[in-house]
Amino acid sequence: MNWSQIFMIVLFTMLITIGGTYWVLKTYIFATSFTPVELNEKEEKNLNEKLLSIGFLSDAPANKNDSTIDEEIDHEGFLKPESYTEQNAPREITFTERELNALLAKNTDLAQKLAIDLASNLVSAKLLIPLEEDFPILGGKTLRVNAGVGMAYQNDKPYIALKGISIMGVPIPNAWLGGIKNVDLVDEFGIDPGFWKSFSEGVKNIQVTDGKIFIKLKE
C-alpha cells in the first residue's frame, strides 16, 4: 500500500467522522425548532369544552352554532353572576397529548420550544433552549433538554418520581440531581406538612396512558 492509498483512507475516515459528528450535533445537541400541534375543528371543540368545564373561557372565535360562551353572557354583554355550588361540579380532568401540546402552542414563545409526551405511567418533556450569541463555545446554538417523570396512583396515593434529565443527549448523574432520581416524591416528602402532603391528600386517582392523562380529585 503506497502513501497515496493511505492518504485516501485517512481522508475518507476523516470525512465519515466529520459527517457523523455533524449529524449527531444537529440531531441531538444543536436542535432546530419543531412544528407546533394544530388541532382539527372537532379536537378544538372538545378541548374548549374541557377548559370551560374547569373554569377557563376559550379565547378562540366562537362557532355560530356553539352557544356555550353565549350562555355565560347576559343580553347587555356582561358575565352572568351565579351562586357558588359544588353540586355536579367536575372532579375529573382528562387531556390528550395533542391537547396539551396545542395549549402550549397557543403561547407563541413556547410553541416551538416545548413538547409533552404521554406514555404508560410516564410524562416526558422535550425543551429547546436557545443560547445567547456571547455564550462560551455554544453561543447562538440551541440545546435539547429531555426529562421524564413517572406518574401513577399506587397504594392509595399518587406516585410522582423523576426518571431523569438529559442535556445534549447525555443523562445527568443522579448525584447531580440531589439523589432524587427514581425516588417517589410523595412517599419521601408527603409525610411532613407541605406541598406533597397536600397534593397527595387532594388526589383520588392519576392515570397516564399512551397519549392521555387522567386525574381525579377528592372532595
- The amino acid that residue 93 corresponds to is I
Dist. CA 207–CA 170, nearest whole Å: 29
> In the predicted model, is pLDDT for residue 148 greater than 90?
yes
Q: Give the Cβ contact number of residue 158 at 10 Å.
A: 24
- Model pLDDT, residue 130: 75
Q: Residue range 82-99: average pLDDT?
A: 85
Dist. CA 122–CA 206, nearest whole Å: 11
> In the predicted model, is pLDDT for residue 68 greater than 70?
no
- Model pLDDT, residue 137: 60
- CA-based nearest residue to 128, from 63, 36, 50, 59: 36
For residue 152, name the pLDDT band (cuts at 50, 70, 90): very high
Q: Is 125 left (phi over 0), alpha (psi -120 to 50) or beta?
A: beta
- Model pLDDT, residue 62: 47
- Is 147:124 a contact under the CB 8 Å cutoff? yes
The DSSP H or E segment spanning 99 is: helix 97-105
Core vs surface per residue 5-27: b (16+ CB within 10 A) or e: eeeeeeeeeeeeeeeeeeeeeee
For residue 7, name the pLDDT band (cuts at 50, 70, 90): very low
Query: Which of 53-67, 68-82, 131-145 has maximum average pLDDT?
Result: 68-82
Residue with the bigger pLDDT between 17 and 76: it is 76
Map grid coordinates 402552542 to a residue. Answer: 105
Read off the pTM. 0.69
Q: Give the Cβ contact number of residue 190 at 10 Å.
A: 20
Strand partners of residue 211 = none
Dist. CA 217–CA 199, nearest whole Å: 10
- The amino acid that residue 94 corresponds to is T
For residue 142, name the pLDDT band (cuts at 50, 70, 90): confident
